A and B are shown apart, each in its own frame.
Chain A
């Protein structure tokens, strides 16, 4: 009897906990969707921030995230290849792997402060390059870790088979091993992109924000997330509505990238 009671109690408690957790998630999503959709107008996408739209913010956010990926993906992948294929078992590799894991959990505001000190302060002001650098620094450890882990899943026999056919190590890595790990690495890249596209803290005092459309990375650069942060604190209703709209759009973007990442995995495995 006692055991049955205990079983029931724990079942009820854990169900309740799940409902509470998921409840908050839905609360957030419903509020966000309701307020966001209500605030969206077609001019939201065609006008810049200065005229009450987010066109320049979307372009700016994506520009920075894409350029950050252009830096982080090759650097991260090459470092991951070093860790798994060349440095395996060496002390240096173990140290780098640990540091990279620490970097992955470093608070993003700390990365922002660091980039402020080396790329903003000495150059006399906020600029787009600093934002890109901050995002790339966030992204690199994630890419390193995914590449490292995904290469680790490639069976050793495949490397040996390539070597046994008369391949040199670097050719086998580039032409066989990476190909075998391609899906996993691509998913990792997508997910890390989804992660940095929604970051605010690393941009707050690196690229800051710009109300106008610009592609000039030497000046303050428009950012969707920083704008949400700013707009939400303004007292006037139109600003707040725009913040809701922007938040909703950002959520949808991140959701789509995540779903696409999962879709790629499911289809290739």
Chain B
């Protein structure tokens, strides 16, 4: 388990008021500096699982968790994030485990302030440090060239693809250990999608990535590992190559070849 950054163990999840659990006893590792894709038909629970990994679900009260989701810190210690209760702990967790959403979510402020926002939340006040880290993040998200002359302009004036890369820059700026992507390209055109995919594969030298996608080509192009989920259960998890070329489960093969879903 040396190269695992997060590990989901016997994890079950029930939405408030729901009779059946949306996730049943999921066990899944997240390898360090690799891209893990989660695929499966709508309603299979892949987004629910992703959103459990930084406890963003806790915005809405009443969820029931069971099992463990462990985060391995840089110093090697292990922490079960399902045990976190205090707001400060959540904040610490989310600085370690960032998230990118389906629709770009630029804040109504300047490009610079968007990227600096998370850093300021993290308590960085020094101006030159802020400037350096914003620049590094924008470079890291391959959007520096387009933005360096308009850092003071509103982020809302950018195109959808640029906005999404800005959101990635914003998350990268915090130097997280893990980045969670929730269908990050499904609201974008093919060219922007290509740019985002390229960016994600470049990012893995610095962070570990978990990506939920509806697009199977995207999963096969991008990821190192793939998890196939169906009706709240993890059907199969393996190297992406194996999943796509030689799946061991009949269900996985049927889904990948487009027989359902």
Contact = CB atoms under 8 A, between A and B. Distances in A.
B87 A168 contact: yes
Interface string A145-158: 00000000001011
B108 A166 contact: no
Contacts of A164: 54, 56, 94, 98-99, 101, 171
Contacts of A155: 103, 105
Interface in B71-95: 87, 91-92, 94-95
A165 B118 contact: yes
A57 to B, nearest CB: 40
Contacts of B87: 168-169
B244 interface: no
Given A167-B91, A168-B87, A171-B121, A162 B102 contact: no
Contacts of A162: 107, 117
Residue of A158, A166, A176 with most chain B CB atoms under a 10 A cut-off: A166
A101 interface: no
Given A165-B117, A166-B118, A171-B121, A160 B59 contact: yes
B108 A176 contact: yes
B111 interface: no
Interface string A164-188: 1111110100011001101000000
Contact of B108 (A160, A169, A171, A179): A179
A180 B109 CA distance: 9
Contacts of A160: 56, 59, 99, 101, 105
Interface residues of A, number: 20
Interface residues of B, number: 25
B170 interface: yes
A229 B54 CA distance: 63
B105 A157 contact: yes
B102 to A, nearest CB: 7
B117 A159 contact: no
Nearest to B102: A157
B187 to A, nearest CB: 10
Contacts of A158: 105, 107
Nearest to B171: A165
Nearest to B99: A164
A179 B107 contact: yes
A163 B171 CA distance: 12
B48 to A, nearest CB: 14
A16 interface: no
B94 A163 contact: yes
Contacts of B99: 160-161, 164
A166 B95 contact: yes
Given A160-B101, A165-B94, A166-B122, A179 B56 contact: no
Contacts of B102: 157
Residue of A164, A169, A182 with most chain B CB atoms under a 10 A cut-off: A164
Nearest to B87: A168
B227 interface: no
B174 interface: yes
24 contacts: A157-B101, A159-B59, A162-B117, A163-B56, A164-B99, A164-B171, A165-B94, A165-B95, A165-B98, A165-B118, A165-B170, A165-B171, A166-B92, A166-B94, A166-B95, A166-B174, A167-B91, A167-B117, A167-B118, A175-B117, A179-B108, A179-B109, A180-B107, A182-B108
Interface of B: 54, 56, 59, 87, 91-92, 94-95, 98-99, 101-103, 105, 107-109, 117-118, 121-122, 167, 170-171, 174
Closest 10 CB pairs of A and B: A161-B105, A165-B118, A164-B99, A166-B95, A166-B94, A166-B91, A179-B108, A180-B108, A157-B105, A176-B107
